[in-house]
Amino acid sequence: MRIATLLLLVLLAACNREPLPAAAPAVGVDPAPPPGDPVEGLRVATRVGCNACHGAEGAGEVFMENPELGRLVAPNLTQRRTLYDDVALAALLREGRTHDGHVPWGMPIKMFQHLSDREVRDITAWLRGLPAVDNPALPAGKWSEELVRTTNDGTHPWLPDMMPDPGNEPPTVPPTQALALGRHLAFTSCSECHGWDLNGWEGDPAPSLIVAKAYTPAQFQRLMRTGEIAAGGKSKTGLMSGVAAYRYPVMTDEEITALKTFLDAR
């Protein structure tokens, strides 16, 4: 009897106890983005010209050498990558923010700023996966006095090419709709040579991309795959022919068709 009475009292006490306060809702945390794909990163790096300047193995190459500029060197990526974490690499590509504040001469930041988050992750994965290469024959860069002066005082006319547009907001992933994809490809692949608005540079042989309208779809495919222009043979300066033959064969048929669609619609 005593035991039964004790059990009854315990049950009554439990029933009269105030309910525990509800647990606070968990604060939402955005999931971490998926890791980059080094195979796709190589494809993107080829299309946008990373390995055209830094070499197929990322070992670095002399980018340009002349009396006006001096010697501009695309450095050994397998050495320079150690100076940047992934966030810093994204800032370098999109904002031109180098590890020590120097101007990244030769890097078309105005073009790279449009790369999507996914493309930046893929390029980063490709870069991280490159085997380390020693390139003792690569000379040091040597800027001309004029380039040093005009860089320091901000008057060199090419400086804006190494700066992003204020307020630029790149996409999370490349678009899939044909017209939007074509625009994305144009601004991440063509604006380096054909102008930030794709209308060419005054006094420069790279024409406005309105010329794409003169190409049939088949001719445009051939141009992007081989560098052969509509009339046959190489482009007037040979530059587009060389660039296209090296960089753009990695593009899919769908991408080339989307690019043509966008350029025709301008």
Over the stretch 132-177, which tens digit does the pLDDT of each residue have? 999 999 999 999 999 999 999 999 999 999 999 999 999 999 999 9
Could you tell me which residues come within 8 angstroms of residue 232 by beta carbon, excluding any fewer than 6 positions away?
A: none
pLDDT at residue 20 tops 60 = no
Token code pair at residue 97: 């923010």
Interatomic CA distance for residues 70 and 84, integer angstroms: 26
Under DSSP, is residue 62 helix (H, G, I), strand (E, B) or coil?
A: strand
CA 22 to CA 146: how far, in whole Å? 69
Alpha helix (H) ranges present in 27-137?
A: 38-48, 50-54, 77-80, 86-95, 109-112, 117-129
Read off the amino acid at residue 7.
Answer: L
- 244 within 8 A of 226, measured Cβ to Cβ: yes
**CA 18: distance to chain centroid?**
59
C-beta separation of 68 from 79 below 8 A? no
Given a contact cutoff of 8 angstroms between Cβ atoms, the answer to whether 212 and 204 are in contact is no
Residue 202 burial class via C-beta count within 10 angstroms: exposed 0-12, middle 13-18, buried 19 and up: exposed
Contact of 209 with 263, CB cutoff 8 Å: yes
pLDDT for 24 equals 52
Amino acid (one-letter) located at 221: Q
Range of lowest pLDDT (32-41, 108-117, 145-154, 249-258)? 32-41
Question: Burial of 14 by CB count in 10 Å (0-12 exposed, 13-18 middle, 19+ buried)?
Answer: exposed
Tens-place pLDDT, residues 29-60: 667 778 899 999 999 999 999 999 999 899 99
- Asked which of 13-22, 119-128, 200-209, 243-252 is least confident by mean pLDDT, the reply is 13-22
Tokens of 151: 């860089």
**pLDDT band for position 27 (cuts 50, 70, 90):** low
Q: What is the pLDDT of residue 14?
A: 42
Q: Taking the CB of residue 51, how many other CB atoms lie within 10 A of it?
A: 21
What predicted TM-score, i.e. pTM, was given to this entire model?
A: 0.86
b or e along 93-114 (b: 16 or more beta carbons within 10 Å of the residue's beta carbon)?
A: bbbbbbeeeebbbbbbbbbbbb
Q: CB 68: neighbour CB atoms within 10 A?
A: 8
From residue 78, give the alpha-carbon distance in Å to each of 92, 132, 213: 15, 5, 41
